[in-house]
Structure 1
Amino acid sequence: MTQTYPHQWLSEHQHLGHSLCVVLDSENEGPARQAFLKNSRPDQYLSVYGQTEASDLNDAGPFVFGFDQPDDPNVSELLRRPESHWGWLASLPKGSLFRLVEHWRERMIVGTRPHQALYRFHDNRVLSRALEHLPLEAYPAYLGPAISVCYWQGTRWKNVDNPAPGKHPVPDSPLWLEVPFPRPQAMEARRLNAHRILLAEHLQAYAELAEQQAADTWLQSVLDLAETWNWQAPGQLEFLLTQRLRTLEPMPPYWHVRPGEDPDEHFDRVRSMADFWQGGAPL
């Protein structure tokens, strides 16, 4: 498919007097982010994670950049490679950039401490799946002040209009959190959330580990182990992360799965034995 469609969408919304912005998943888009920063006024961009509980991940978090022209060269560069999943486009009422950021700040952290997770709204695949599954009446609470969004849906561009743009409260049970994630996205979300837990709750131990070995490799090995044992609950993963931070030595024999033991039985036994041998001492 040619790249004329998103440019047409951008031109139409500019003609209607709407503001244009890109929600950039900047973790893997460092050069693109720098290009936007270099060419944006201070009032044209905001970091979503900045000044929030997730500020420790600010450098890898989403940024929202407003732009004036549909043919903005930085935007055109992104549109040439939609398969890189850099984020998505939105049109807003004039002067609503901060309201959009505020809207997603209210929705980006899900769960309660210490089992919180980050909702990756800035990933076009997450947005696409949510809008595919949500009923139309749930769009306003999800999209907030956005008048319309334009995003890459796997094989083609798609746009969705918000029937009631504006400020909406977060529902008690947001329907978008019930949308199932494909395995690759679920694994990436688990990696990012595990990284956030370590930075927020165990920074010193995590930094000491990084001095001895590649932290990313270590983290992936722990996540792989959690996957093998089917320890999927947030509390199970955090327990495994903190226990592996204690020592780089091989696991004691009691950690291994016993015949006929299901994941919950395995976890409860290991946690009890770890508490006994460690005297209940915190990390």
Structure 2
Amino acid sequence: MTRSLPHQWLIEQQRLGHALCLVLDSEHEHPTRQTLLKNSRPDQHLSVYGQTLVADLADAGPFVFTFDRPGDEHINELLDRPDSHWGWFASLPKGELPTLVEHWRERLVIGERPHQALYRFHDNRVLSRALKYLSVEDYPAYLGPAISVCYWQGNHWSSTHNPAPGTYPVPDSPLWLQVPVTPQQAMQVRLVNARRFLLAEHVQAFAALAEQQDPEAWLRVTLDQAEAWHWQASEQLEFLLTQRLQAPAQALAPYWQVRSAESPDEHFERVRLMAAFWQGDTPA
């Protein structure tokens, strides 16, 4: 069964005298969170975003629960659907729930103003990628007081043991923030940013396109073209999106194609000037 490995892990961690802990994505698991809250003592759960700079988002932020029964029906329900990315498990020394939550609060906000973001430590995919990238000696600063963690790794369950659980300061340059982005992740980020740009700047044209064809498929084809040309700067992507949106079903004019020995920047500047000329934006 899918749940056999994590269930064995839960039983073993409890046998060793450790507290069992669930890190839950509250935003997408609100019914589960509410059920767990109703069935937990006050000392068995904490909101990670509470008492932080993002306390206003606490209701949508991750919650951490400790629980006593590995075979709890609500835990089993989560184990039966690992692909929904609800979070992950950890084992802790008894009474260390506040320590774990404080550990992640200190690592929550990343980047500098005005480009700050929230680190999605509660996402099993984020945890899995970080642990795959980090060396064993880097685990303690990342996992903190967690003795062991158990998580869905995309197509199977996995567990990782922390060689030195404890309290650690946040490194000046945390290695877990340097995890290489996969091509799929990079494309997803570009898709999100492209969609935001079009909805903010060209919402009517984008809506008209959506009436004629699948907007997601069109976005992917357009971004694939940008990648083939090595147009990755925001100015280049926005130019291509805007130009293609004017006639989304038409083939590109011949002057759009790359010339021999032309760099991506040279190619972009030539096409930009040619497009402006043919659209009457520059003197003939």
Q: Give the counterpart of 1:95 among 91, 94, 98.
A: 98
Does the CA contact (< 8 Å) of 2:198 and 2:206 recur in 1?
no
Question: For residue 165 of structure 1, what is the aligned residue in structure 2?
Answer: 166
Q: Once the two structures are superposed, what CA deviation does each residue of 1:25-84 show, in whole Å capped at 9, x if it has no partner?
A: 85xxx4x432223431696353759954996xx99x762341423333332112123344
AA in 2 matched with 1:148: S
Cα distance change of structure 1 residues 132 and 72 upon mapping to structure 2, 3 Å threshold: same
Matched, 1:105 2:108: yes
Q: Give the counterpart of 2:37 among 40, 60, 71.
A: 40
Does the CA contact (< 8 Å) of 1:106 and 1:170 recur in 2?
no
Does the CA contact (< 8 Å) of 1:128 and 1:151 recur in 2?
yes
AA in 1 matched with 2:63: V
AA in 2 matched with 1:249: Q
Cα distance change of structure 1 residues 40 and 130 upon mapping to structure 2, 3 Å threshold: same
Question: For residue 266 of structure 1, what is the aligned residue in structure 2?
Answer: 267
Residue aligned with 1:230, SS: helix
Q: 1:139 Cα shift? A: 1.3
Matched, 1:5 2:8: no
Q: Looking at CA atoms only, which structure, 1 or 2, has the larger radius of gyration?
A: 2
RMSD: 4.8
Does the CA contact (< 8 Å) of 1:25 and 1:87 recur in 2?
no
Residue aligned with 1:22, SS: strand
AA in 1 matched with 2:65: G
Cα distance change of structure 1 residues 13 and 274 upon mapping to structure 2, 3 Å threshold: farther
Output aligned runs, 1:1-283, within 5 Å: 2-14=2-14, 16-18=17-19, 20-24=21-25, 26=27, 30=28, 32-40=29-37, 44=45, 46=47, 52=54, 63-69=62-68, 70-92=70-92, 93-96=96-99, 98-107=101-110, 121-162=121-162, 163-172=164-173, 174-192=174-192, 198=196, 205=201, 218=215, 221-230=218-227, 236-237=233-234, 240-241=237-238, 244=241, 248-250=245-247, 256-260=256-260, 261-267=262-268, 269=270
Cα distance change of structure 1 residues 211 and 259 upon mapping to structure 2, 3 Å threshold: closer
AA in 1 matched with 2:266: E
Q: Partners of 2:2 and 2:187 in 1: how far apart?
A: 31
Report the more deviating stretch, 144-153 or 268-277: 268-277
Q: Partners of 1:272 and 1:64 in 2: how far apart?
A: 53
Does the CA contact (< 8 Å) of 1:236 and 1:267 recur in 2?
no
Does the CA contact (< 8 Å) of 1:231 and 1:263 recur in 2?
no
Q: Partners of 2:228 and 2:83 in 1: how far apart?
A: 31
Cα distance change of structure 1 residues 274 and 154 upon mapping to structure 2, 3 Å threshold: same
Cα distance change of structure 1 residues 207 and 258 upon mapping to structure 2, 3 Å threshold: closer
Residue aligned with 1:128, SS: helix
Does the CA contact (< 8 Å) of 1:131 and 1:139 recur in 2?
yes
AA in 2 matched with 1:94: L
Count of aligned positions? 263
Cα distance change of structure 1 residues 176 and 86 upon mapping to structure 2, 3 Å threshold: same
Does the CA contact (< 8 Å) of 2:21 and 2:89 recur in 1?
yes
Residue aligned with 2:37, SS: coil
AA in 1 matched with 2:259: P
Q: Give the structure-1-normalised TM-score.
A: 0.65
Identity of aligned residues (%): 35
Does the CA contact (< 8 Å) of 2:209 and 2:245 recur in 1?
no
AA in 1 matched with 2:91: S
